[in-house]
Amino acid sequence: MSAAGRRVLVGLLAAGAGFAALAAVGLPAFYESFLYLIFSWIALATSWSFLSGYAGYFSFGHGAFFGTGMYTTAALTTMFGLPFLATMPLAGLLAAALAAGIGAVVFRVKRLRGELFGLLTLAVGFVLATIVLNTRIDGGPGVYLSAVPLPRLLASPTGTLYLLGLALAIATVGAAYAISHSRLGLGLYAIHDDEDVAELKGVPTLSYKLIAFALSAGVAGVAGSIHAMYVSYVTVGETFSITVPLYVVLMSVLGGARHWLGPAVGATIIASSLYVFTGGQQAVLGRALVALVLIVVILVLPEGIVPTILTRWRAWRPRPAEVFAAPAPAPVVAAPAAALACQDVWRSFGGIQALRGVSLGVAPGEIVALVGPNGSGKTTLINVISGYYAADRGRVTLGTETLTERPAHEIARLGVGRTHQIPRPFAHFTALDNVALAATFGPGRCPPRQARAEGQEWLSFTGLGRRAAALPHELNLHERKFLELARALAARPRLILLDEVLSGLNPAEIASAVRLIRQIRERGVAILFVEHLMRAVLELSDRVVVLNEGEVIAAGPPHEAMRAERVIEVYLGKAHVA
Amino acid sequence: MPSLTLLGQAVVSGLLAGGIYGLLALGLSLSWGLLRLVNLAHFALALLGAYLTYQVGTAFGMPPWLAALAIVPAFFLLGMAFHAVFTYFRVTELTSLLVTFGVTVILESLIQWFWTADYRRYETAYATASTRVGPLFVPTLEMLACLTAAGLAVATWAWLRFTYVGKALRASAEDPAIAAAFGVNHRAQAFLLSGVSAAYAGIAGAFIALISTLAPSQIWAWIGVVFAVVIIGGLANPIGALLAGLLIGVSESLTMAVVTPAWAPLVSFSVLIVILIARPGRV
């Protein structure tokens, strides 16, 4: 555990012990209730951010999971006489299972957009409310829990609930810290910035989203279970009202949904201020006021309070930059070499046949150039090899592994690296973090610290050593292209797919890129590159494959392939065929 | 098994209720599909329109069509005002959902503040009028609402399909930069479309006031169903929105007749989820 992590752990435990001692000494019941509500909101808002804050999929279904927890406890204690404490984990598990089920359906929707996810999760609450209202779980009149015994952790029932709420809040905030500093958190942040690229860099996006969603719902379920005992009379109208989804979004966004502590800060502020408005018409006004705050915060402070303060603080007190050892010439590629083979690959988009039975191979340490007119299927082939598109027919293998039929993140882990024609760095990651992410999720599966050290080496290798702390929007095109390259290399690929890395660069930059590509080859990496720049193609490649309308029309040593009759005809027209 | 007459009556009332869904979905589908703004506040606007019609009708004794005549242009301006705020703060697709969520809660609170949470019913002499077609009864007002929905859907479709403004709007939704390069003034047209969308909410509101019992919480009951309709119908597809509205209306109404009324709210989501599972690439 890092030093910062230890400090956070000690801080959280101290806060927990302090609040627990407060209750043991004896706190007026009013304050116990007041603080219990704040703890409950902290747990809810913090757990909401696991998926919605870190990965950016805003869920309006948190109330549904909270409600699942409430009714699980209500039903199991009253109908089956289970003790309350036994229903608590069950409530969490049921809510988590529900979220995983919903996720398994909605995350399958291709190009699921954030707002569609939001609406579908909003619908979950209405569906659950209808089911609960029409079955024996509630049936209409509501469920009384006043007869359900509460374990006596403290003398008073409010004291007991206070302790349970406190424990859940501390555990949830601790989990938020752990997640946001783990591989899971890193993957979720990458999904937020660019989900397709995250998948191509080896992040198992589907399972990460499902895990985050289930964890998030599980905490909400446990919070609901405790809350059922707190209110002791559970009704559909109150449980599935719009209050919970509205407030958790507001609290998290206000505090800063991408920061582990943000939602807790937001929850404390809003829950305390809500106490001012209680009952009757005043509550109506209070709700309107909270909604107004939501609007203003989203419009003027989109990052939230905690990140804004941290940014100001860092700007005011600049910290010394991280010092790294002098850059090594270039890290060694550990993975055993492997050859790429495409056999009879087909792919169509609607009526357009982009690839018609393409077969080609790239040996370890070989540079193969893929050329052809625009629209000939070059980028499509790269997308099929890297798993971004599935092939309709045919097989792609790397060494002994079959790549077709595998999800993109598995292909990345088998050692396929790629660059994008238009650089697609993660917008909220620094240059170093961009590269380190690829090292973390690539075949090397580096632990975070090593990933950063290696990332720094790859940045130096591509000449970006001094730009490590820059955000992508601060880099120029040439730097972003080299960042793409560094990111592809950091994964320690066995095969690297370069999509027009040279286009848009000036002659000096091209010369240095050509040098880099030669150095990569010397390490036994198989290189397939798409390029329009003929000079570089002739200079770099061992072999050239020419595509036209999705078919290979020539292949062989550069000068031979480019002189083939069909190639000249395609490029220059029939009249020029000698 | 219920009798054929009962089933026929269920289909008729389903079609009529579906017309209202289609009418509500129309404005939403336009702003989501063409402006990339998810306007949750659309429902709150419709309900506000309904309460205003109710107020004008009961307190001042004015006929509802006169109220609509005032509400529609006022809502058109209100829609443009909202859009001015959205463009000033560069609201994106996702933040539009959050901001309009806030607007919805504020409008709901305002409605509750002025008209309380009690149910309100706008009684008119013609509220119960109906036409008899064979063994079936067709309530006149709901028929009128459904025909208006159909008329607006077809008119909107023709507007998008055949006029310059409609084509420009569709081009901007596909690729704003390229459309602008061809001289499309997206800003002005976006204001127009926002106004039209809000005006549709006003029209829907006037009919809702005449047809149904009003309560502030009604907003949340619509959201799920109507969004399902919008997604099933296809974004920015007026005819699709109408047909999807009718489909959901009839399915709900048949569920009420054959199973039990209490389960009707589940119908739209079941249809939506079936579609999402069967054709995940569709949306």
**Greater model confidence, A449 or A208:** A208
Q: What is the DSSP string of A275-290?
A: TTS-SHHHHHHHHHHH
Range among A39-48, A558-567, B3-12, B231-240 with highest mean pLDDT value: A39-48
Res. A347 pLDDT band, cuts 50 70 90: very high
In sequence order, what are the residues at sequence separation of 6 or more whose Cβ sits closer than 8 angstroms to the Cβ of residue A20?
A: A163, A166
Which of A51-60, A61-70, A263-272, B216-225 shows the lowest mean pLDDT across its residues?
A: B216-225
What's the domain count of chain A?
A: 2
Domain boundary among A243, A275, A291: A243
Residue A404 lies in a domain: yes
Residue A252 lies in a domain: no
Return the CATH number of B4-278, one of 1.20.81, 3.40.50, 1.10.3470, 2.40.160.
1.10.3470
Asked if A288 and B281 come within 8 Å (Cβ–Cβ), the reply is no
Asked if B228 and A115 come within 8 Å (Cβ–Cβ), the reply is no
What is the mean predicted confidence (pLDDT) over A506-522? 87
Give the pLDDT of residue B222. Answer: 83
Domain boundary among A243, A273, A291: A243
DSSP state of B96: H
Asked if B102 and A302 come within 8 Å (Cβ–Cβ), the reply is no
What φ, ψ does residue A315 adopt, rounded to 5°?
-65, -35
What is the mean predicted confidence (pLDDT) over A360-377? 89
Residue A419 lies in a domain: yes
Do residues B202 and B31 make contact, with C-beta atoms less than 8 angstroms apart? no
Res. A278 pLDDT band, cuts 50 70 90: low
What φ, ψ does residue A530 adopt, rounded to 5°?
-95, 130
* pLDDT exceeds 80 at position A333: no
Q: Which amino acid is at A567?
A: V
Q: What is the share, in percent, of chain A residues with pLDDT greater than 70?
A: 94
Give the pLDDT of residue A115. Answer: 67
Give the pLDDT of residue A325. Answer: 45
Range among A186-190, A236-240, A534-538 with highest mean pLDDT value: A186-190
Residue A253 lies in a domain: no
Give the pLDDT of residue A216. Answer: 97
Q: How far is B220 from chain A (nearest CA, A)?
A: 8
Render pLDDT for A148-166 as a digit per residue (tens, 0 to 9).
Answer: 888 877 778 888 899 999 9
Distances B10 to A201, A503, B7, B260, B266 between C-alpha atoms, Å: 54, 64, 5, 12, 17
Which of A268-282, A288-302, A398-412 shows the lowest mean pLDDT across its residues?
A: A268-282
Do residues B215 and B120 make contact, with C-beta atoms less than 8 angstroms apart? yes
**Separation between Cα atoms, residue A20 and residue A481, nearest integer Å:** 54
Residue A479 lies in a domain: yes
Q: What is the DSSP string of A10-34?
A: HHHHHHHHHHHHHHHH---HHHHHH
User: Bridge-partner residues for B137, per DSSP?
Assistant: B132
- Closest in A108, A118, A130 to B265, CB measured: A130
Distances A90 to A35, A77, A98, A148, A222 between C-alpha atoms, Å: 25, 12, 12, 17, 8
Mean pLDDT, rounded, of chain A: 86
Res. A1 pLDDT band, cuts 50 70 90: low
Which residue in chain A has the smallest CA separation from B279? A109
**Separation between Cα atoms, residue A487 and residue A250, nearest integer Å:** 36
Full residue range of the structural domain in which residue A54 is found: 8-243
Res. A397 pLDDT band, cuts 50 70 90: very high
Residues of chain A with C-beta less than 8 angstroms from the C-beta of B98: 58, 249, 253, 294, 298
Do residues B47 and B186 make contact, with C-beta atoms less than 8 angstroms apart? no
Asked if B101 and A292 come within 8 Å (Cβ–Cβ), the reply is no
Range among A289-298, A315-324, B12-21 with highest mean pLDDT value: B12-21
Sequence length of chain A is 578
* pLDDT exceeds 90 at position A110: no
Res. A318 pLDDT band, cuts 50 70 90: low
Give the pLDDT of residue A268. Answer: 92
Q: What is the DSSP string of A75-99?
A: HHHHHS---HHHHHHHHHHHHHHHH
Q: How far is A180 from chain B (nearest CA, A)?
A: 22
Residues A355, A218, single domain; the answer is no
B106 touches chain A (CB under 8 A): yes
Res. A319 pLDDT band, cuts 50 70 90: low
Give the pLDDT of residue A418. Answer: 92
* H runs (alpha helix) in A336-447: 378-385, 408-413, 431-441
What is the mean predicted confidence (pLDDT) over A521-544? 88
Sequence length of chain B is 283
B41 touches chain A (CB under 8 A): no
Distances A162 to A27, A165, A273, B198 between C-alpha atoms, Å: 10, 5, 19, 47
* pLDDT exceeds 90 at position A215: yes
What φ, ψ does residue A27 adopt, rounded to 5°?
-120, 140
Query: Angle of helix A157-180 relative to helix A183-193, nearest 10 degrees?
Result: 70
* pLDDT exceeds 80 at position A394: yes
Q: In this structure, what CATH number is given to the domain that contains residue A446? A: 3.40.50.300
**Greater model confidence, A287 or B33:** B33
Q: How far apart are the first and last CA of chain B?
A: 36
Range among A1-5, A12-16, A207-211, B101-105 with highest mean pLDDT value: A207-211
Q: What is the mean pLDDT of each run of 10 residues along chain B (283 residues)?
A: 80 90 93 87 93 87 82 93 89 80 88 85 76 80 89 93 88 83 84 93 91 84 82 86 92 86 79 71 51
B113 touches chain A (CB under 8 A): yes
Q: In what order do the strands lie in the sheet with A401-402?
A: A352-362, A340-349, A393-398, A401-402
What is the mean predicted confidence (pLDDT) over A51-60? 90
**Separation between Cα atoms, residue A452 and residue A439, nearest integer Å:** 8
Give the pLDDT of residue A279. Answer: 58
Which residue in chain B has the smallest CA separation from A301? B89
Q: What is the share, in percent, of chain A residues with pLDDT greater than 90?
A: 38
**Greater model confidence, A395 or A155:** A395
Q: What is the DSSP string of A113-173?
A: -HHHHHHHHHHHHHHHHHHHHHSTTS-SS-EE-TTS----SSSSHHHHHHHHHHHHHHHHH
Residue A131 lies in a domain: yes
Domain boundary among A243, A260, A292: A243
Q: Which two tokens stand for residue B176?
A: 């704003």
Which of A402-406, A462-466, A546-550, B124-128 shows the lowest mean pLDDT across its residues?
A: B124-128
